[in-house]
Amino acid sequence: MKNIYDIIFIGGGLSTLMFLSQYTKNNSKQKILVLEKNKKIRSDQTFCVWAGPNLFDIEKTYKLKPKKIWQSIKLINSKESILQKIKPYQYKAFDGNKTLKLLLAQCKNITYKKNIIVDDIVYENLFLVRTKSGELFKSTYLFDSRPPKNKAIYKYPEVLNQAFIGTEISVATDQFDDTAATLMNFQKSDDAIIFNYILPFSKKRALIETTFFTKKVDFNLISKVHKNFLHHYQDYKIIRKEKAILPMGVIKNDTNSQAIKIGISAGMIRPATGYSMQRIANWLGKLDLKRITQSNKATYYFQGPILLDWLDSIFLKVCYNKPEIGPLLFISLFKNANIFSIIRFLSDSSTTLDIIKIILALPKKIMVKGLFNYYE
């Protein structure tokens, strides 16, 4: 029947397309509808992941080609610069637009509708999805990737925003060290954690991204800081820009909802870092992607590692209440902990020993105060 589907996905971004690229391999006969609000299939973001021993192989599983691979990383503050060689691990960057288009091409027999705004959802044995244009769609199951509208979805009140403006530039002379990705080049601030993230694709081309971990987003301020940092580079030309806000908070699992949450509202962004692609891939790698039934529906809810969520919550408490000491946490971590333990920790793939090493590497006094809500 027209407009009746087995599954409807609200939102056709990264989490939906990664899911469907795998799910439709064995379920190509199901009727699946994706309702995407944007007019085009696009993502201005650059997706980055860690790769190496015992980490999920995103490149191989999803047949994606990275834009650049690094085997060294940097962290910089006003006092020091830390360079870490990470081989046999790697840090990989994927072009957002190309990634989404490649993933969509792998999805078998789905209907992908663009420029669709969902107005209302009602569950009456079937899901009834009404759009602002007046269309009505029905489905047995519904996956909802829309971001949270309020903080009630979070376990803890300390929710930050990761807001950033990025510019990919080219220069005429060799100005970039393309052997290392700079994860954080900190700038001093008492009101937010501010750093520049530098991904050099060649000696003459790089993405420069100014990032704020902040309670309140002021894009005018971020733009000003970003433009000032770009002045470090001579005679640059702008290739493209990117801009986004990502919530940083530990999500509650809403297993009472008839709809299945996916994406940000399902905790598929790492609370303390903003990494999403890695967490989505790890989640999908553990799923039994057989046909969805009422009896197995609950298995599709994302379950974050409890201990990692707990550590992230302490980190967020500290950064929320004392942002000026945030850079110290990151610098201490990368100076004092084993780099392989750090990578596995950031990839949601840490062992118990890795987590112990991470805890021991962080400033004890600061973390204990965060644990007991001293900073509130």
Mean pLDDT by 10 residues, the chain (376 residues): 90 96 90 94 91 95 96 94 97 96 95 95 93 95 88 88 97 97 96 97 98 97 98 95 93 77 89 91 86 70 78 90 92 95 94 90 77 56
Delimit the domains of the chain by residue range: 4-44+96-153+249-300, 55-95+155-248, 306-371
Specify which residues 253 forms β-bridges with. none
Could you please state the CATH topology (level 3) that the domain comprising 55-95+155-248 is classified under.
D-Amino Acid Oxidase; Chain A, domain 2 (3.30.9)
DSSP string of 78-90, one letter each residue: SS-EEEEE-TT-E
- One-letter identity of residue 241: K
Tokens at residue 171, please?
């220069």
- One-letter identity of residue 322: K
Q: E strands within 181-318?
A: 181-187, 193-202, 205-214, 237-248, 260-261
Q: Does domain 4-44+96-153+249-300 have CATH number 3.50.50.60?
A: yes
3-state class of 19 per DSSP? helix
In sign, the C-alpha dihedral spanning 338, 343, 347, 351 is negative
Distance separating alpha carbons of residues 351 and 139, to the nearest angstrom: 40
The pLDDT assigned to 266 comes to 87
3-state class of 235 per DSSP? coil
**CB neighbour list of residue 231: distance below 8 Å, 6 or more residues apart:** none
In sign, the C-alpha dihedral spanning 348, 351, 354, 355 is positive
Distance separating alpha carbons of residues 134 and 329, to the nearest angstrom: 51
- Is-contact 281 49, C-beta < 8 A? yes
Nearest to 155 by CA among 316, 10, 370: 316
The helix/strand count (H/E) of the chain reads as: 10, 17
Domains 4-44+96-153+249-300 and 55-95+155-248 share a fold: no
The torsion region of residue 234 among left (phi > 0), alpha (psi -120 to 50) and beta comes to: beta
The pLDDT assigned to 368 comes to 72
Distance separating alpha carbons of residues 367 and 341, to the nearest angstrom: 19
- Is-contact 37 146, C-beta < 8 A? no
Specify which residues 51 forms β-bridges with. 90
Distance separating alpha carbons of residues 260 and 9, to the nearest angstrom: 9
